[in-house]
Copies of this chain bind each other. A is one copy, B any other.
């Protein structure tokens, strides 16, 4: 875990004031830069020491066999794994003849700063070489939001008190050696030397390398162009080999003098395009970067982010840590999706190889709700990616004996890559989650552009999937049997409440969309009878309820299962210490599941049932998933446990900044980052968007004096400014108005006419529930 003071609290910066080598893996993830297309882990410029070297291109992957001790029908045989591509970040420095390596010599100071408004990672260091030569280094790194194929590094070295000879090596390196990895199943499969050299080329101060993956047959090019500014004579030359290219810059500096290297890096990859086309694509991108110049790229970057923050910022008064964390979270969520452009948004974004670089339901259920309200174009792009993978999803459904499309539980390019069916194939709710994201985009933006461009296909094919998965019982009730809900410690069940309600919503939404798009629906073979069967099933959906305990059952029979002995199992995550057979059969919940249903389907539960459900499931949920805390924050807030909700917000917010799950080094937890926003906006903001309408019912915990957030709704921006006793709704666009509900009151808010209302009264029906021993939410260390 990372200590609370490692990244001092600052509203717009994440600053590391000294280098802790043990935390390098985590800090590389925290300081990762990405635009959704290119991802640079926050590795030190000189490459070593490192936690894990990492450079990624969205969806650029290798295939590997998935082995099984006992084979089974329908098991995916090919896995997809993200590849660590050619590293363009590297700048090595020699002072006289000694390499700048923080493990040698004396590091007087070392600071790294991620600037959330500038979109840069700035590193400053003062170092004395073992021979006593003192230098200052300042590097500024960016991955451009504006120029999607480009990144840049400015590297400045200054002689402090003696004349020195300085050598810089600006490199491209493919197939970097990777450290040994653990057995933890959440870690990526190791691929050693995944890239085969295709061609290389270099000029005086730049080079291009083209590589290809062995099995998946994807081709990628990486190019660099180096510019040097030096006070005196400077020699520049470049060499290339199959797996590396190196521009060497040599110069002398007197005390106070600086050598400045500006390195432009560009990437391209394709499954289809030729080697020359890729090579030229990279050259073109480099030309664009050179034309803009480093200062120009910095300015573009800041401007891009200004526009983003203007409509996305969340201000938290009274809790500086959460303030910092939610901006950090929004920044990384943006980085993951901004320019993904019809490729997936992975569970770790492009910050690390965890989960093999796969996209899960996290994207649609956690990340896209945030992007929909803050960067809707990125949300639409991610959903268009899903729509483009409908063919493999249809094939998968056919293979499984189902109709429609079965989207994969985990994938990079659309094919199911899950090697354990009870927690993969059976988790069919991913399909309803995708459908929900399509509908949410339509409702929030008021635009049908996605629906007519792939969205309807997704809705129709997932509806068909549900019809073949579900069945009516003798009394007409509609059930879904044999599926796994969000809680991965309970699998292959009958009538998981979340899945059933999400499936029903999927069916209704698909029918409504077909009614809006009759021609398109007809072209997909949907007739009125099919729509009627969807509406019938949705209306008859069964939601299991324990009449004795008066509590909803996460799934049929859940509340009658044996209890888990929490006292006897104190090592977490449980999945590394107990067999699935025992976890599955007992009342132990990995992550919000019934509570996810409370959040997504607020109108399906009475206030009393919500209160009892939160009480019941809080006591049995261990939060071995980083997806859980945010949803528990939201439901705790709704039933009036605001302080508990605050603790959950803190936990969700600091999963990565404090490495609560001990695996931030494999990449950031995008869902938990997005969850920080969800927890604040839906939890304390009380926002719900179910049924096409916008509702708020805000309440603040005692530790927050103000919560102010902006969302995009239809063509306008709505600012919600919550204080302990009142909320002000402001529409920020001239001539716009927004209909919303505050508590039970319907309001129309016009631009220029903010509306202030007192907060509603919120009295918890039950006392604050306790969590399993040792699993209370991670509490912030308050100053004593």
Interface residues of A, Cβ cutoff 8 Å to B: 66-76, 79, 183, 185, 399-402, 418-426, 471, 473-474, 479, 481-483, 491-492, 494, 548, 556-557, 560-562, 568-569, 575-582, 584-586
**Residue with the greatest number of chain B CB neighbours at <10 A, chosen from A69, A72, A473, A494:** A69
Partner of A473, one of B399, B471, B560: B560
B577:A73 contact, CB within 8 angstroms: yes
Q: How far is the CB of A464 from chain B (nearest CB, A)?
A: 16
B72:A420 contact, CB within 8 angstroms: yes
Q: Which B residues are in CB contact (< 8 Å) with A67?
A: 67-69
Q: Which B residues are in CB contact (< 8 Å) with A402?
A: 582
Contacts A473-B560, A494-B561, A557-B494 known; A582 to B69 CB distance under 8 Å? Answer: no
Q: How far is the CB of A391 from chain B (nearest CB, A)?
A: 20
- Smallest CB gap from A402: residue in B: B582
Partner of A73, one of B471, B481, B578, B585: B578
A421:B73 contact, CB within 8 angstroms: no
A79:B74 contact, CB within 8 angstroms: no
The CA-CA distance from A561 to B473 in the complex, in Å, is 8
Partner of A418, one of B70, B71, B399, B585: B70
Q: Which B residues are in CB contact (< 8 Å) with A575?
A: 72-73
The CA-CA distance from A514 to B415 in the complex, in Å, is 57
The CA-CA distance from A231 to B660 in the complex, in Å, is 88
B68:A582 contact, CB within 8 angstroms: no
Q: How far is the CB of A72 from chain B (nearest CB, A)?
A: 6
The CA-CA distance from A171 to B347 in the complex, in Å, is 61
B71:A183 contact, CB within 8 angstroms: yes
The CA-CA distance from A580 to B418 in the complex, in Å, is 15
Q: How far is the CB of A449 from chain B (nearest CB, A)?
A: 36
B579:A421 contact, CB within 8 angstroms: yes
Q: Which B residues are in CB contact (< 8 Å) with A483?
A: 581, 585
- Smallest CB gap from A183: residue in B: B71
Q: Which B residues are in CB contact (< 8 Å) with A72?
A: 185, 420, 575, 579-580
Contacts A481-B562, A494-B557, A562-B471 known; A582 to B419 CB distance under 8 Å? Answer: no
Contacts A71-B185, A72-B420 known; A581 to B494 CB distance under 8 Å? Answer: no
B185:A582 contact, CB within 8 angstroms: no
The CA-CA distance from A161 to B482 in the complex, in Å, is 72
- Smallest CB gap from A579: residue in B: B74
B481:A585 contact, CB within 8 angstroms: yes
18 A–B contacts from the bound complex (CB under 8 Å): A67-B68, A67-B69, A68-B420, A70-B419, A72-B420, A73-B575, A73-B577, A73-B580, A74-B579, A401-B578, A402-B582, A421-B579, A421-B580, A471-B562, A481-B586, A482-B582, A482-B584, A556-B557
The CA-CA distance from A553 to B759 in the complex, in Å, is 53
Partner of A581, one of B68, B425, B556, B584: B425
Partner of A482, one of B183, B474, B585: B585
Q: Which B residues are in CB contact (< 8 Å) with A73?
A: 575-580
The CA-CA distance from A301 to B214 in the complex, in Å, is 61
Partner of A421, one of B399, B474, B578, B581: B581
Q: Which B residues are in CB contact (< 8 Å) with A66?
A: 69
The CA-CA distance from A67 to B71 in the complex, in Å, is 11
Q: How far is the CB of A719 from chain B (nearest CB, A)?
A: 45
The CA-CA distance from A483 to B579 in the complex, in Å, is 13
The CA-CA distance from A70 to B421 in the complex, in Å, is 10
B421:A481 contact, CB within 8 angstroms: no
Q: Which B residues are in CB contact (< 8 Å) with A576?
A: 73
Q: How far is the CB of A396 from chain B (nearest CB, A)?
A: 10
The CA-CA distance from A474 to B70 in the complex, in Å, is 39
Partner of A68, one of B76, B419, B421, B481: B419
Q: How far is the CB of A495 from chain B (nearest CB, A)?
A: 10
- Smallest CB gap from A470: residue in B: B562
B581:A426 contact, CB within 8 angstroms: yes
A401:B579 contact, CB within 8 angstroms: yes
Q: Which B residues are in CB contact (< 8 Å) with A471?
A: 562
Q: How far is the CB of A234 from chain B (nearest CB, A)?
A: 53
The CA-CA distance from A425 to B69 in the complex, in Å, is 14
The CA-CA distance from A401 to B567 in the complex, in Å, is 13
- Smallest CB gap from A410: residue in B: B70
A581:B492 contact, CB within 8 angstroms: yes
Q: Which B residues are in CB contact (< 8 Å) with A584?
A: 482, 492
The CA-CA distance from A584 to B492 in the complex, in Å, is 9
Partner of A69, one of B183, B419, B481, B586: B419
- Smallest CB gap from A77: residue in B: B69
The CA-CA distance from A399 to B474 in the complex, in Å, is 43
